[in-house]
Amino acid sequence: MADEQNDPLFPNPQVVITQPSAGQVMTSGYFSIKGYDGSIWVNAYKVLSDNTLELLGGSVTPGGYWEVPVFFTDGSYTICVGLESNMSERVTFSVRVAFTVPRITLPRDEEIDISQPFTVGGTATPGFRVRIMTQGGWHDFGLSEPAARDGSWSKTLDIRNLPDTITIQAAHDAHGQWSEARTFRLRASKPIIQFPENGDITDVKGRISGAGGVSGAIVEVLKDFEHSFKIGEGDVGANGEWNVTRFVMDMPPGPFSIVARQIVGTVPSDVSEVRSFKIRPPALTAVTTSYPTETSLKFSGSGHTGATVQITVESGPEGAAPPDVVVTVGRWETTATNWPFGTYNLKAIQKVPDNANGWIESLPYSFTVEHRLPDPSDIKFTPEYQPTFSGKGSDGATVKIANPGGSTFPAPNALVSAGKWSSQASQVWGPTFKRNVYFRQFLDGQQSREWIELTVTIPPLAPVFGPVQEDGFSPKFSGTCWLNAFVELTFSDAPTTKHPATVTGTNWSFQRGTPFAPDVPHTVTVTQIAAEQTSPPASPTFTVYTPMLKPIITHPEPDSEVGRDVTKVGQDGIAGA
């Protein structure tokens, strides 16, 4: 079957435009190009300045009538309708839109939740955009989409970083008159505190978090009834959750209540519902232990002023815990008495009242104390060849005295009585130079902390001086000394000349080759060197006498007869005798 629309025997009727008519002024940008006849389908075209065609749309032509909806702004236009083989005559017309003043009718409520999208809307000239600005023009929200054919329009405004009250107006872009102003009050929604929960126990900088925030806002956490007391703040994430990450002030130990508010741009919300919980004081970080007496221990340290410090014995020998103590100006101390020696495992806390006849306790601080037998003290020795050691100790304890290495013992064990002890060396030591001796006390299976070292130095005694043996003008000197000591003599008539003696075992002897002047006193000084030390001197005095000669009578001769008065003459007499 032949196509009648394209058959030359059946030519297409001429396409005719009935609206707009030539020279017609359209008062709305929205209208339809209408006409009749043509093919099953017709296209509407706008004739451009270079005589080319711009397609406006197409329409089916049932019954020979057609209609193409279009939109034009103000101006003069030429159009034609049809297909390439069947085009209407060209029609020139103009558009002079009668603009109406825009109106802002939405939202009806003047209280705006800034956490929700803020969409304004109203009526305006169909097909034209509306510009929305704050009254006075200090903030431009931009243009809406073109108003619909019924004149309705809407736009979602970005109201972040704006004051909490704004007044806006609308106008057609570049087409003059502004709408009546609408004033809106911006309000941020209250955030929700989720942690800690009511009645929880947390720390002075414990976790605080929640939900219900506006992405990008800041949530502040404040003390209830004292909003100038700011605990801290945090940023709201994309899902509305928030967490305090910047702390400003510690929450004080004890019962405590907080509220939260969020600030969106510059707009603060009302505060949230109150959340009440308990703040525990910080855990102690160190405890100092000292020993005022053998059976008492003093504990001390720093803490939270006003808190009560409590020490508990977790394990160890029998011993009552020290009394609780209140921290004053950041410091505390308490003393335990009558504690047996041994190892104690202790726990220390500080606590504050919860205002409900209970306590809020810190986390525990655990520590170990070795309450050991004290070291023997005030240890002394006598500088004798067989020294005696003495000192102070714990009543009933046994003090052991050891050589280096601890396997041999130079003196018997000593029992402490009335806080004192003493023990004499088991053997004669003689002269001693820097010999180390070690002391430790033991009691009921306990021992003092360490071996206490004592360095012993015993100088040699002065050598013993025996009787001077006469031998003319050079007598013999002798005596006793320490075994194999070095013995040295000096004499008053030559004090710078030193003479070593002959030492055999514990005996020494000496005879000077130079004779001494007779009949005048002389002093001999004798010292001995043993254990790297020189003894005190022995300094006896002696005198060498001229020998007593036997006088010889030279007159009268032996057996000669003499008278009653006779003078005797002789030799080898001693003057003055």
What is 344-361 written as a DSSP string? EEEEEEEEEE-SSS-EEE
pLDDT digits (tens, 9 = 90+) for 210-231: 999 988 899 999 999 999 999 9
Mean per-residue pLDDT for 271-294? Answer: 95
What span, in angstroms and rounded, lies between the C-alpha atoms of 146 and 97?
14
In terms of average pLDDT, the best of 515-529, 539-553, 554-568 is 515-529
Which pLDDT score, from 0 to 100, does residue 573 have? 58
What span, in angstroms and rounded, lies between the C-alpha atoms of 432 and 409?
17
Which pLDDT score, from 0 to 100, does residue 6 have? 43
Which pLDDT score, from 0 to 100, does residue 3 have? 43
What span, in angstroms and rounded, lies between the C-alpha atoms of 70 and 57?
8
Query: Which two three-digit tokens encode residue 221?
Result: 């956490």
Q: Which residues pair with residue 81 across a beta bridge?
A: 44
Other CB atoms within a 10 A radius of the CB of residue 301 amount to 20
- List Cβ neighbours of 328 (8 Å cut-off, separation of 6 or more): 305
Which pLDDT score, from 0 to 100, does residue 1 have? 37
Query: Which two three-digit tokens encode residue 85?
Result: 């083989």
Q: Do 459 and 533 form a contact (C-beta atoms < 8 A)?
A: yes
What span, in angstroms and rounded, lies between the C-alpha atoms of 31 and 70?
6
Please provide residue 329's backbone torsions phi and psi, each rounded to the nearest 5 degrees: 50, 45
Choose between 438 and 577: higher pLDDT. 438
Q: Do 147 and 103 form a contact (C-beta atoms < 8 A)?
A: no
- Of 488, 383, 389, the residue nearest 430 (C-alpha): 383
Which pLDDT score, from 0 to 100, does residue 490 have? 97
- List Cβ neighbours of 7 (8 Å cut-off, separation of 6 or more): none
Mean per-residue pLDDT for 404-413? Answer: 95
Model confidence at 562, in pLDDT bands (50, 70, 90)?
Answer: low
Mean per-residue pLDDT for 539-548? Answer: 88
Residue 449 has pLDDT above 50, yes or no: yes
Which pLDDT score, from 0 to 100, does residue 234 have? 97
What span, in angstroms and rounded, lies between the C-alpha atoms of 367 and 487?
63
Residue 302 has pLDDT above 50, yes or no: yes
What span, in angstroms and rounded, lies between the C-alpha atoms of 146 and 534?
121
Which pLDDT score, from 0 to 100, does residue 44 have? 87
Model confidence at 177, in pLDDT bands (50, 70, 90)?
Answer: confident
Residue 13 has pLDDT above 90, yes or no: no
What span, in angstroms and rounded, lies between the C-alpha atoms of 409 and 391?
17
pLDDT digits (tens, 9 = 90+) for 374-403: 999 999 999 999 999 999 999 999 999 999
Model confidence at 566, in pLDDT bands (50, 70, 90)?
Answer: low
Residue 4 has pLDDT above 60, yes or no: no
Which pLDDT score, from 0 to 100, does residue 36 have? 84
* CA atoms in the 13 A half-sphere facing the CB of 525: 13
Q: Do 211 and 194 form a contact (C-beta atoms < 8 A)?
A: yes
Residue 483 has pLDDT above 80, yes or no: yes
CA distances from 439 to 381, 425, 431, 443, 536 (A): 12, 13, 21, 14, 30
Q: Using DSSP, state whether 189 is helix, strand or coil.
A: coil
- Of 573, 577, 568, the residue nearest 549 (C-alpha): 573
Alpha carbon 361 to its chain centroid, in Å, reads 22
What span, in angstroms and rounded, lies between the C-alpha atoms of 442 and 450?
11
Q: Do 54 and 46 form a contact (C-beta atoms < 8 A)?
A: yes
- Of 458, 456, 417, 418, the residue nearest 439 (C-alpha): 456
Compute and round to an integer the Cα radius of gyration of the chain.
63
Residue 181 has pLDDT above 80, yes or no: yes
Model confidence at 435, in pLDDT bands (50, 70, 90)?
Answer: very high
- Of 397, 296, 394, 291, the residue nearest 339 (C-alpha): 296
Choose between 164 and 441: higher pLDDT. 441
Residues in the chain: 577
Which pLDDT score, from 0 to 100, does residue 252 have? 95
- Tokens 């809307």 sit at which residue? 121
Which pLDDT score, from 0 to 100, does residue 5 have? 42
Residue 11 has pLDDT above 70, yes or no: no
What span, in angstroms and rounded, lies between the C-alpha atoms of 287 and 313?
14
* CA atoms in the 13 A half-sphere facing the CB of 205: 8
Please provide residue 62's backbone torsions phi and psi, each rounded to the nearest 5 degrees: -70, 135
- List Cβ neighbours of 155 (8 Å cut-off, separation of 6 or more): 119, 120, 121, 130, 132, 141, 142, 143, 144, 145
Q: Do 236 and 217 form a contact (C-beta atoms < 8 A)?
A: yes
Q: Specify the long-range contacts of residues 6-10, CB closer than 8 Å, at least 24 apart.
A: none
Residue 202 has pLDDT above 60, yes or no: yes
Q: Do 127 and 108 form a contact (C-beta atoms < 8 A)?
A: no
Q: Using DSSP, state whether 311 is helix, strand or coil.
A: strand
pLDDT digits (tens, 9 = 90+) for 49-106: 898 888 888 887 777 788 899 888 888 999 888 876 678 788 888 888 778 889 999 9
Which pLDDT score, from 0 to 100, does residue 2 have? 37
Model confidence at 8, in pLDDT bands (50, 70, 90)?
Answer: very low
pTM above 0.75, yes or no: no
What span, in angstroms and rounded, lies between the C-alpha atoms of 529 and 434?
15
Which pLDDT score, from 0 to 100, does residue 12 have? 57
Choose between 42 and 533: higher pLDDT. 533
Average pLDDT, the chain: 89
What span, in angstroms and rounded, lies between the C-alpha atoms of 210 and 231?
15
